[in-house]
Copies of this chain bind each other. A is one copy, B any other.
């Protein structure tokens, strides 16, 4: 269930949306009451998440290693190691420092909640809680990590363009592109498989009010190809397809 954004999304963004999570997000539920754990698990499963349950703190810490979850739902009251202690330990490890943690607890004192946040929780919900609300908060937390980590990645084959770091790499190797080349590639990669006319590229890359000749696009495509495929031997496959009489298009061979 690709959650909320049924409203405003260009097809390009929608395809991005799919690319970002090629796998279902993994959620670790740490909760000693079986019934509650199952309820949450059922609910999250229904929304496309892959869940695992841990019933005490020790188990939770182990499960984090194995599962490498994208998000953790953490009950405060647990046998063995308490939830708050689990939280603290996860925050102490660099590897798990940035995994979102939603604390869920029957403790209603404000002081407890503040403590939870202080120990590094990302969100805090009091029991009893609405499953819909939990869902919404899970979505929000994951959306956030998506936005900060990979929202700006465009991929075609072994080509990756990062529009935030403004970098392009092919097969893991960083490439150097001139500004115009970068924008041109970006325009192409926004709609992989779709043919873009020279005029369309001109307006996207050079701006709507540019007086640049259409042929200039060709020259830049040439430069871009050179940069992507390697100068001389063109040892790598060319992702940029020329569509005679129309324009260009990028696609994974």
Contacts and interface: CB of A to CB of B under 8 A. Distances in A.
Interface of A: 3-5, 8, 88, 92, 97-98, 100, 110, 113-114, 117-124, 130, 132-133, 136-137, 139-140, 143-145, 147-148, 151, 164-166, 178-179, 193-195, 243-246, 249, 251
Contacts of A137: 117
A98 B147 contact: yes
B136 A117 contact: yes
Contacts of A195: 164-166
A114 B135 CA distance: 9
Contacts of A151: 97-98
Contacts of A139: 117
Nearest to A145: B148
A17 to B, nearest CB: 13
A199 B249 CA distance: 33
B165 A193 contact: yes
Contacts of A123: 123, 140
Contacts of A114: 132-133, 136
A147 B97 contact: yes
Contact of A140 (B122, B148, B193, B251): B122
Which 10 A-B pairs give the minimum distances between C-beta atoms? A4-B118, A117-B136, A179-B245, A98-B147, A165-B193, A166-B195, A117-B140, A114-B136, A166-B243, A164-B194
A133 B115 CA distance: 11
A199 B8 CA distance: 30
Nearest to A247: B166
6 contacts: A4-B119, A97-B151, A98-B151, A117-B137, A166-B243, A166-B246
A22 to B, nearest CB: 20
A144 B144 contact: yes
Contacts of A249: 165-166
Given A88-B8, A97-B151, A136-B113, A194 B165 contact: yes
B97 A118 contact: no
Contacts of A194: 164-165
A193 to B, nearest CB: 5
B140 A113 contact: no
Given A92-B8, A98-B147, A147-B98, A244 B193 contact: no
